[in-house]
Homo-oligomer: A and B are copies of this chain.
Amino acid sequence: MTTTDRPDADLVDGVLAALADPTRRELLDVLSGRGQATATTIAAELPVSRQAVVKHLAVLDTAGLVESTKVGREVRFSVRPEALDTTARWMAALAADWDRRLGRIKRLAEAAEAAARDA
């Protein structure tokens, strides 16, 4: 069960890449707090230009972390938890996998030590 074998590898890849940027995480905080917001609105609360926000939102959209709706001449964005949830589960499974393997290694080491004692 390696990382790349999992079917949602692409999804996880996108989410991790998106969340790696602190500005994007802050942006998501603002957005999740408002429920709905446009790029212009969000930019007013962040130390970056509107265009920077637009680009970040594009990345987040590709990653499936936000969705957009056109209302008249403005585009309202909102948060989408599914991809985040999937990635969280992936990560928890990976951590459990590491734990399992470490336990196995440890048992093997102990067995080898016991064998060495007997020799």
Compute how far the CA of A16 lies from the CA of B36 in the bound complex, rounded to whole angstroms.
26
Q: Given the known A-B contacts A16-B20, A17-B20, are A84 and B98 also in contact in the complex, defined by CB atoms under 8 Å?
A: yes
Residue interface mask A12-51, B partner, CB < 8 A = 1: 0100110110100110110011011000000000000000
Each complex incorporates copies of this chain amounting to 2
In the complex, are the beta carbons of A32 and B101 less than 8 A apart?
yes
Q: Given the known A-B contacts A16-B19, A25-B3, are A79 and B98 also in contact in the complex, defined by CB atoms under 8 Å?
A: yes
Compute how far the CA of A87 lies from the CA of B100 in the bound complex, rounded to whole angstroms.
18
A110 touches B (CB below 8 Å): no
Interface residues of A toward B: which range? 35 or more
A54-92 contacts to B (CB < 8 Å): 78-81, 84-85, 87-89, 91-92
A2-B33, A32-B101, A81-B102 provided; 15 other pairs, C-beta below 8 A?
Answer: A2-B29, A4-B26, A4-B29, A13-B22, A16-B16, A16-B20, A35-B101, A35-B104, A79-B98, A79-B101, A84-B91, A84-B95, A88-B88, A88-B92, A91-B91
